[in-house]
Homo-oligomer: A and B are copies of this chain.
Amino acid sequence: MGNDARLAVSTVIFTLREQSDVDKRAGVPALWTPFVLRTRDPYQDRWALPGGWLPDDEELEEAAARTLAETTGLHPSYMEQLYTFGRVDRSPTGRVISVVYWALVRGAEVEQAVPTENVRWYPADDLPELAFDHRQIVDYALTRLRTKVEYARIAHAFLGETFTLGQLRMVHEAVLGERVDPANFRRSALAEGDLEETGDYLAGTPHRPPKLYRYRADVDVQPGLTH
C-alpha cells in the first residue's frame, strides 16, 4: 500500500526591521518575511515561500535548509518544524504535503546572505498575493508567534538575554503590527510573573536609565525541541 502524494518542504523566515518613514507607523519595527517569485506554473509570477521537493535520501530539516539557502542565500543557525500542511486540494497539480520549518533571523544574518534573484522581503502585515495556501501558512506562523512562549523566544533572539520594557514592547508591537500603550504594557508585562529585574540599567543612558529585565529561568526561551 502507498499513495501518490508528493512531499515538499517550505520555510517561513521572520526578521525584525524598522518601518520606512513613509509608513504611518514609522519607528515601529515590523516582521518581514522573504518570498520567492515563481517562474513557472502553477501560480507563475506569484510569490511563494522558499522551499522545494523532498529528495528521498535527504532529511526533512536538511532539505528545508538547503532549499532556503538556494533560493534566498539565508543560512539560519537554527530552524524548527512549524507544522505540516496537507489539505487534499492545496495544489492544482495533485496532492502535495508540505512540511514547513520556520526560523527567526537577526538583521546581521540577512545582510550576510548572498543576494539571489527573484527574492523579495515583505512586511508580514502587507503581503502580496501568495501562491498555493502560503498565505494561510504565514498566518499560522504569525498566530504561533503571538503566544507567550514565542514572545520570550523572539525577545531572546532579537534582544539577547536582557532588555528594557521599552525594547520588549517594541517586539510585541512588531508581532502584533500595531502600537501598544506603554503604561498598559508595563503593567501587564510585570503582572505576568515571567520577568525579573537583573539589577542593572541600560548602558549609555545617563539620565534615568531604564531597568534591564530578563525572563525567569523557568520560561523556555531556548530554541525548541530537536530530533
Interface residues of A (CB under 8 A from B): 1-7, 53-60, 81, 83-88, 95, 97, 99, 136, 140, 143-144, 147-149, 191-194, 218-220, 225, 227
Contact = CB atoms under 8 A, between A and B. Distances in A.
Contacts of A218: 148, 192
B6 A225 contact: no
Copies of this protein, total: 2
27 contacts: A2-B6, A2-B53, A3-B7, A3-B53, A3-B54, A3-B56, A4-B56, A54-B86, A54-B97, A58-B88, A59-B87, A59-B88, A60-B84, A60-B86, A84-B84, A86-B99, A97-B97, A97-B99, A140-B225, A143-B225, A144-B225, A147-B149, A147-B220, A148-B149, A148-B218, A192-B193, A193-B193
Contacts of A194: 193
Contacts of A143: 225
A95 B193 contact: no
Given A59-B87, A193-B193, 11 more contacts: A3-B7, A5-B7, A7-B86, A54-B86, A56-B95, A60-B84, A81-B84, A84-B84, A97-B99, A140-B225, A192-B193
Nearest to A143: B225
